[in-house]
Structure 1
């Protein structure tokens, strides 16, 4: 609201168009009323308007207007009187429910009488999730291929013992089964992936069982009496 009492100062005047938007009713468009008013110049925020020839004000000029800035908006009220003051942001903030987590905060709320309700949470035995699902998820998300299963160390030692009992070198055993010596070395060191066809050749060359039950026993089994 702007006020200029009689004889207070001499200033230029500017004519402005003021738009008054009424609150629309349901299913109707808002009404926009345009008024031409005269206010003292310079008077913020209208200092950018070009003034008319200066005249001396002989009365008080009052105006309610839309004043929009980056921070707030002063809205014209159609039912406001000339001497009523429009306050910006005069609405009370909505109340929020705060949660007191410490004993001191709870005691202070009790003394003030602002406690709405109390609730105590307990952690049961099932509150902690199991780790098995996490482990399976980690395995499922891994992009690396799992290494193949190799023969056991006991089987490798059995092959080595049977070869030494026959008095053969790794190269000689490899020649009998038509393989390279490094393949025999991998089998005896338990680094090789089991191959059923090669294990059958080794059984026949060494004369011992290398598959199934009774590993290390003679291939033909005990003779019947």
Structure 2
């Protein structure tokens, strides 16, 4: 409760000007509850100039709300400007709001391109989809949130942020994507290449290769080995030699 007798008009004017200059994002307004405080100040203060400043500030903050109408001044002064319980992803849970804030920071790490969707709404929907699936904010929830943050913050993966901001990847899709689905196309190619190499090497467990008594085993020192050659690098690179000791089962690359 604001006490009218304790209001310092000079300090209040300075703070209101500073708040207007800060361009406070919706996520911060929701977490701090400052909109309610300013609205209470508007109802309490007697200085007309300060009252006008509070009304304008509240009006600007209300523009951040989805489906808000800036034409309805009565609505601006009678409703909280920092929350909209009509949106499906609305919450007052501090843990969830903190997750949304971290997601916004990750999504905005390189700035927001002009014409992008609202990052705060996107991140609220991402978090909301995760919460609705997992039903709580415990271990699995934390892991899911952290994996989104990690991939969104990856400076080598700008395509993910661009696709989310442009709506190519919806918040609901990002909420359930695997780590492999979120990584960059370059890293995907490297992973596919690694899988191919691993698959080829696994085939050596079935194929004993070509017998050769000229190769000595590194472990048992017997000359009872077989070898196979596989193309594990690019086509212009030499093939890799894989050796199997038929005596002790030791394997190595030649």
Instruction: Tell me the TM-score normalised to structure 1 length.
Output: 0.22
Q: Where is the helix percentage greater, Structure 1 or Structure 2?
A: 2
Q: Quick one: higher RCO (CA 8 Å, sep 6+), 1 or 2?
A: 1
Larger radius of gyration: 1
